[in-house]
């Protein structure tokens, strides 16, 4: 096959598209072009509205997954759409150091080399992480460029950059001085494997099947002693009291007594505590282990009880646990203690028990509540304004149902443990002198602020990674400096992210933004769903992971983007199947081929897309539909309904433009009988539809639309800044829509009739339209008769009452007769009878309704009227059809 057989006048290669659609051949070219033309930087007059987003900075732990691709696609759709509607758009890129997650990645790497991070030392280890970070950042950047993200790379940031680190330090110092950061000894969530404290949010609760043990403690003076229940017998070595409810008659005899801790022999006061003890549960007696349970810790504070740490940071029993158990792992200790209790006859009962147990979000190790000195943010004073901001509408969630979840969490929020016993992150700016004083300051202090001692040591710990992420919407612009960028681009407009980090990040950004800048960091939060495949979370073990780059290689970036946007409904899951990807690629191919056809019509002179005055019915119809589609895309995008917006442009382009309009006008474009004026009207209309479709689709499929745009308009790389098409009231033409829809219905009816009569598509069918029917569309139908004959492949079309023997029907209000030059078979007749009985059923339903007095009485008049009309239509069809079969 000779490539590109030339048609007369079609020799200009710049106006031709290759026969095969190959996205890889142009994607990178266009991204480089946009970058070179600095299209991703905010531009346009300062008076035009701005649209600002910050990227949720991906962790520098590795590669982006398909979930990132979803979020970035939605953001890019918004960025490109707003750019095209004339906004000054800024979308800030960057990455997150992701303290614990990244440190773990490197530790795993080291482990595979047989190295422990401690042998490298803190500096050596951190240097190694930095080297990794540079690599990971490049990978991530390349991935986002492949996806087409129109991020302003000149403003790229990293949470450990010097200026962002300064923001972190400033925020810490400010909160400390305001009394909103404090240091203290409390029970925190401790991961023994990671060797660090974690926040409540980093603990994943999972149901486990375990046992609950009842243990008898001796109580001098009470023969039966005290039986307590526990799921964690190993912690009993750290008991410092028993607790009962002050109003529980069952345990009244224990009041004021002292119990003896088995094995250890320690005397335990029996305290009365209505908060800790639930009268309705178990024996009504609770063991109090202040060092290993947060509730017990606060109980101990209320009653002035000591805390004994019996499990160390490595989850092994401490010296305090006694010589028999010290050094044992916590679960080995449990076994040993149970054996001892059993041998002492103190184990009263062992029952199966299902309960929730905290696991480390990162490594799945069972979390140990651990008494240690940590830094905390006092959160209530920050949470209150953040609650109000959402209540008062300064920040809104889309979908709005997330506000409920937000409130529920914010209203029961606990202080935030922000210190981490890690090496990778922002070091806590607290310095200790030998006298135990703390100096907190933005610059490294030379001497203790309290006693002036010169020898200071900085706190070895780092901050929770989210402490810096919460500052992201303003730290990227140079806060706390009053930079120009901060003034111009903050607060931002929209934040797009998955709902899984609503608490981790979104809520904290709102709190931090309000506290540090006095402004909510964005007015709208769009929370999208999580990507699932076949209803399941993607996981490497299930082998259903879709890698975005592999998908782009296979289907093209535009198809990946379109599939993601089209799948992004308002629900909590975004279901992505491979078939969706191939379906989106087919759509891109369809656009490609339709454009090839159109380009063939635009020679030798390129139309300018100005529809002439003497438009014909199909032209007016498609422009009316185009205008509607343009309005619909914008309306849906306003609502963050990316799926509906994608659907609107999809069905216009494929079903109306390609299947409808192009097929209707082919004879006018290339047929011998068409007049120059008629051809010109079709060319201009086709050009307008194609150019506007490219623009409407560009936010979703930037590469292929830019590629075709060049061929269609002759402009290179300008689609990205072309005005987004708007709904045009002057193009709205309900009359043309009605007539052309009627035409399409007639064509379908004829094809359908061939099916009923088992006729081949080429068998001649005669159609007659009764001129007495449907007077309002009759003249339009006469105008459209050439198209009707062509599309329906009619052998004859007459505007007269149906002939004897024809199959009668009513289509779009017009009484028609259809006939083939051969008699109907019995099969044909039974099909017709089936249609009739279906009609009868529906007629009966409707007339029953209209016979119902309360329906007539209470239903609104338009509904009754509509029902009447529908019934009349059905009866008309019925009598037409039965006339033919009778």
**Please, what is the Cα angle at 255 between 252 and 259, to 5 degrees?**
115
Q: Is 554 in the site for RNA (CB under 7 A)?
A: no
Q: Is 281 in the site for RNA (CB under 7 A)?
A: yes
**Which of these segments, 55-63, 418-426, 711-719, 854-862, binds RNA (CB under 7 A)?**
854-862
Minimum CB distance to RNA, residue 854 (Å): 4
User: What residue has token string 């946007």?
Assistant: 565
Q: Is 87 in the site for RNA (CB under 7 A)?
A: no
**Number of helices (H) and strands (E), helices first, in the chain?**
27, 30
User: In the chain, how long is the greatest CA-to-CA distance?
Assistant: 115
Q: Is 876 in the site for RNA (CB under 7 A)?
A: no
Whether omega before 604 lies within 30 degrees of 0, making that bond cis, reads yes
Whether omega before 480 lies within 30 degrees of 0, making that bond cis, reads yes
Report the residue number, 8 or 162, with the smaller CB distance to RNA: 8
CB 289 within 8 A of CB 320: no
Quote the CA–CA distance of 605 and 714 in Å, as a whole number.
12
Q: Is 16 in the site for RNA (CB under 7 A)?
A: no
Binding residues for RNA restricted to 713-752, rule: CB under 7 A: 747-748, 751-752
Report the residue number, 107 or 644, with the smaller CB distance to RNA: 644
- Which residue from 18, 116, 138, 278 is in contact with RNA, where contact means CB under 7 A? 278
CB 827 within 8 A of CB 758: yes
Binding residues for RNA restricted to 567-586, rule: CB under 7 A: 567, 569-573, 575, 577, 579-580, 582-583, 585-586
Q: Is 863 in the site for RNA (CB under 7 A)?
A: yes
Q: Is 878 in the site for RNA (CB under 7 A)?
A: no
Report the residue number, 137 or 831, with the smaller CB distance to RNA: 831
- Which residue from 212, 394, 549, 721 is in contact with RNA, where contact means CB under 7 A? 212
Quote the CA–CA distance of 630 and 730 in Å, as a whole number.
13
Distances (CA, A) of 492 to 54, 392, 770: 7, 18, 63
Task: Give me 507's structure tokens.
Answer: 């809520």
Binding residues for RNA restricted to 341-380, rule: CB under 7 A: 355-356
**Which of these segments, 152-160, 304-312, 324-332, 755-763, binds RNA (CB under 7 A)?**
755-763
Find the helix or strand (DSSP H, E) in which 173 lies. helix 162-177
Q: Is 234 in the site for RNA (CB under 7 A)?
A: no
- Which residue from 33, 43, 139, 295 is in contact with RNA, where contact means CB under 7 A? 295
Binding residues for RNA restricted to 594-613, rule: CB under 7 A: 594, 596-597, 600
Minimum CB distance to RNA, residue 860 (Å): 5
**Which of these segments, 81-89, 146-154, 176-184, 591-599, binds RNA (CB under 7 A)?**
591-599
Quote the CA–CA distance of 306 and 755 in Å, as a whole number.
89
Q: Hey, how many other C-beta atoms are within 10 angstroms of the C-beta on 163?
A: 15
Q: What residue ranges in 485-565 does DSSP mark as E strands?
A: 494-498, 524-528, 530-533, 536-537
Binding residues for RNA restricted to 628-687, rule: CB under 7 A: 643-644, 647, 651, 654-655, 658-659, 662-663, 666, 670
Binding residues for RNA restricted to 183-202, rule: CB under 7 A: 200-201
Minimum CB distance to RNA, residue 10 (Å): 10
Among 1, 13, 3, 2, residue whose Cα is nearest residue 599: 13
Q: Is 335 in the site for RNA (CB under 7 A)?
A: no
Strands 267-272 and 241-244: parallel
Find the helix or strand (DSSP H, E) in which 819 lies. strand 814-819
Residue 606: burial class (beta carbons within 10 Å; 0-12, 13-18, 19+): middle
Binding residues for RNA restricted to 679-698, rule: CB under 7 A: none
- Site map (CB under 7 A) of RNA, residues 786-825, x = contact: ----------------------------------------
Strands 50-54 and 88-92: parallel
Quote the CA–CA distance of 634 and 613 in Å, as a whole number.
28
**Which of these segments, 37-45, 120-128, 447-455, 527-535, binds RNA (CB under 7 A)?**
527-535
Report the residue number, 613 or 822, with the smaller CB distance to RNA: 822
Minimum CB distance to RNA, residue 389 (Å): 20
Report the residue number, 171 or 884, with the smaller CB distance to RNA: 884
Residue 266: burial class (beta carbons within 10 Å; 0-12, 13-18, 19+): middle
- Which residue from 11, 20, 109, 373 is in contact with RNA, where contact means CB under 7 A? 20
Minimum CB distance to RNA, residue 128 (Å): 32
């Amino acid at each position: 096959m000779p490539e590109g057989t030339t048609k007369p006048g079609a020799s200009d290669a710049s106006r031709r598209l290759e026969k095969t659609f190959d996205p890889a051949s142009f994607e990178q070219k266009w991204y480089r072009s946009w970058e070179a033309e600095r299209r991703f930087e905010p531009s346009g007059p300062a008076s035009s509205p701005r649209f600002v987003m910050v990227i949720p900075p991906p962790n520098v732990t590795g590669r982006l997954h398909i979930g990132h691709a979803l979020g970035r696609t939605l953001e890019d759709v918004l960025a490109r759409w707003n750019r095209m509607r004339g906004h000054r758009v800024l979308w800030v890129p960057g990455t997150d150091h992701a303290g614990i997650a990244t440190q773990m990645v490197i530790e795993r790497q080291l482990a595979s080399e047989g190295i422990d991070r401690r042998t490298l030392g803190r500096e050596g280890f951190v240097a190694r992480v930095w080297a990794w970070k540079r690599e990971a950042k490049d990978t991530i950047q390349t991935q986002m460029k492949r996806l087409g993200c129109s991020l302003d790379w000149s403003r790229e940031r990293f949470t450990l950059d010097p200026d962002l680190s300064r923001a972190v330090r400033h925020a810490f110092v400010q909160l400390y001085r305001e009394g909103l950061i404090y240091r203290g000894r409390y029970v925190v969530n401790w991961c023994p494997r990671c060797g660090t404290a974690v926040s409540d949010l980093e603990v994943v609760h999972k149901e486990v099947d375990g046992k609950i043990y009842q243990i008898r403690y001796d109580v001098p003076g009470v023969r039966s002693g005290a039986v307590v229940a526990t799921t964690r017998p190993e912690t009993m070595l750290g008991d410092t009291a028993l607790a009962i409810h002050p109003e529980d008659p069952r345990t009244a005899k224990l009041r004021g007594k002292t119990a003896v801790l088995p094995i250890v022999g320690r005397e335990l006061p029996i305290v009365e505590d209505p908060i800790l003890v639930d009268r309705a549960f178990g024996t009504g007696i609770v063991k109090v282990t202040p060092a290993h349970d947060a509730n017990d810790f606060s109980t101990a504070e209320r009653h002035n009880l000591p805390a004994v740490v019996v499990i160390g940071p490595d989850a092994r029993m401490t010296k305090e646990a006694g010589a028999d158990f010290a050094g044992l792992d916590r679960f080995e200790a449990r076994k040993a203690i149970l054996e001892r209790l059993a041998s002492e006859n103190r184990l009263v009962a062992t029952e199966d028990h299902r309960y929730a147990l905290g696991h480390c979000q990162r490594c799945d190790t069972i979390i140990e509540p651990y008494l240690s000195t940590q830094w905390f943010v006092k959160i209530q004073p920050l949470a209150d304004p953040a609650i109000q901001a959402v209540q008062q509408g300064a920040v809104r969630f889309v979908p709005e149902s997330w506000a409920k979840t937000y409130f529920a969490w914010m209203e029961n929020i606990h202080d935030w443990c922000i210190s981490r016993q890690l090496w990778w992150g922002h070091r806590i700016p607290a310095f200790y002198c030998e006298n135990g004083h703390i100096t907190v300051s933005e610059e490294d202090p030379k001497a203790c602020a309290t006693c002036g001692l010169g020898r200071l040591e900085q706190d070895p710990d780092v901050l929770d990674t989210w402490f810096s992420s919460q500052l992201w919407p303003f730290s990227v612009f140079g806060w706390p400096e009053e930079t120009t960028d901060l003034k111009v681009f903050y607060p931002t407009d929209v934040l797009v992210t998955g709902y899984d980090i609503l608490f981790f990040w979104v809520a904290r950004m709102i709190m931090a933004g309000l506290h540090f800048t006095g402004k909510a960091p964005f007015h709208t939060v769009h929370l999208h769903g999580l990507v699932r495949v076949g209803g399941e979370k993607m996981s490497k073990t299930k082998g259903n992971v879709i890698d975005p780059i592999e998908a782009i290689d296979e289907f093209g970036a535009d198809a990946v983007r379109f599939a993601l946007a089209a799948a992004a409904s308002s629900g909590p899951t975004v279901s992505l199947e491979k078939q969706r990807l191939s379906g989106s690629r087919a759509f891109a191919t369809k656009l490609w081929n339709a454009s090839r056809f159109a380009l063939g019509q635009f020679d030798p002179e390129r139309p300018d897309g100005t529809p002439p005055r003497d438009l014909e019915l199909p032209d007016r119809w498609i422009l009316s539909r185009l205008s509607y589609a343009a309005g619909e895309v914008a309306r849906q995008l306003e609502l963050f309904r990316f799926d509906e917006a994608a659907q609107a442009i999809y069905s216009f382009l494929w079903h109306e433009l390609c299947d409808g309009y192009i097929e209707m006008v082919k004879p006018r474009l290339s047929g011998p009988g068409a007049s120059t004026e008629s051809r010109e009207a079709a060319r201009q209309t086709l050009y307008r539809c194609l150019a506007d479709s490219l623009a409407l689709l560009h936010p979703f499929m930037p590469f292929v639309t830019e590629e075709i745009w060049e061929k269609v308009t002759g402009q290179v790389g300008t689609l990205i800044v072309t005005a987004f098409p708007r709904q045009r009231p002057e193009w709205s033409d309900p009359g043309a829509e009605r007539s052309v829809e009627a035409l399409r219905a007639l064509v379908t009816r004829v094809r359908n009739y061939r099916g009923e009569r088992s006729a081949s598509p080429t068998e001649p069918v005669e159609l007659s339209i009764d001129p007495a029917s449907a007077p309002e569309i009759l003249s339009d139908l006469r105008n459209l008769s050439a198209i009707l004959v062509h599309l329906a492949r009619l052998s004859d079309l007459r505007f007269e009452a149906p002939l004897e023997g024809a199959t009668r029907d009513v289509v779009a209000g017009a009484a028609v007769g259809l006939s083939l030059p051969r008699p109907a078979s019995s099969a044909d007749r039974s099909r017709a009878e089936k249609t009739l009985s279906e009609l009868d059923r529906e007629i009966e339903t409707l007339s029953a309704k209209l016979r119902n007095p309360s329906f007539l009485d209470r239903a609104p008049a338009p509904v009754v009227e509509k029902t009447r009309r529908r019934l009349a239509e059905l009866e008309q069809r019925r009598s037409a059809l039965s006339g033919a079969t009778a």
